[in-house]
């Protein structure tokens, strides 16, 4: 079950932004964590379907390219990066096939609001394992989190430090 892959693991993600690698490659990241924490180490690898690949319909190819770059035969979690209203239904169906083929051990979404999830759940055979959303003390998204929990979708928080810092500075300057 996808939920088992989401417990007690380290998360190693390769992030590409505008074609540039931001983080160390996965092999070096694993070596770093093994050295720092001591082995054995469970590594959980997440990759995202970019908006560009989503629009182009390159769902399988994008996953294969990620796996090749990472040097792995499967991904622990494959996420739709953004709910493009024209493509996310079709993308989800293709991602379900990749899940059934065990190329991805779990599939999920990012930045989906309740409305997006409601629409997706009407056509989905597989419930998203995760909804990765911006979540921090200044953006709690309580209703979305409660909705996800009610549908057995785990909420994974991401935290954009630059955005958070500017919000904190605004709040401090107002008060």
Q: What burial class does residue 13 get, using C-beta atoms within 10 Å of its C-beta: 0-12 exposed, 13-18 middle, 19+ buried?
A: middle
pLDDT at 138 (0 to 100): 83
Domain with residue 102: its CATH number is 3.20.20.100
Rg (CA), the chain: 17
The larger pLDDT score, comparing residue 171 to residue 54, is at 54
**Could you give the CA distance from residue 155 to residue 149 in angstroms, rounded to a whole number?**
8
pLDDT in tens, 89-147: 999 999 999 999 999 999 999 999 999 999 999 999 999 999 999 988 888 899 999 99
The count of domains in the chain is 1
Q: What is the dihedral of CA 113, 16, 74, 132, to 10 degrees?
A: -20
pLDDT at 137 (0 to 100): 83
**Residue 23 tokens, joined:** 């983080």
**Could you give the CA distance from residue 81 to residue 144 in angstroms, rounded to a whole number?**
17
pTM of structure: 0.74
Q: Which of these ranges, 26-35, 41-50, 145-154, has the smallest mean pLDDT?
A: 26-35
With CA atoms as reference, report the closest residue to 13 among 64, 76, 94.
Answer: 76
- Check whether 150 has a pLDDT greater than 70: yes
């Amino acid at each position: 079950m996808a939920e088992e892959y989401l417990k007690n693991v380290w998360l190693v993600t390769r992030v590409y932004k505008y074609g540039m690698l931001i983080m160390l490659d996965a092999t070096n990241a694993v070596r770093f964590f093994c050295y720092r924490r001591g082995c054995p180490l469970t590594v959980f690898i997440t990759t995202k379907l970019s908006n560009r690949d989503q629009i182009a319909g390159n769902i399988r190819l994008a996953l294969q390219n990620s796996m090749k770059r990472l040097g792995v035969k499967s991904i622990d979690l494959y996420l739709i990066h953004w709910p493009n209203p024209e493509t996310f239904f079709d993308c989800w169906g293709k991602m379900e096939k990749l899940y059934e083929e065990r190329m991805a051990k779990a599939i999920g979404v990012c930045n989906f609001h309740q409305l997006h999830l409601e629409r997706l759940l009407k056509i989905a055979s597989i419930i998203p394992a995760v909804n990765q959303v911006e979540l921090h003390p200044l953006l709690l998204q309580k209703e979305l989190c409660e909705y996800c929990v009610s549908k057995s979708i785990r909420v994974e928080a991401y935290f954009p430090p630059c955005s958070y810092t500017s919000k904190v500075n605004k709040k401090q300057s107002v008060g």
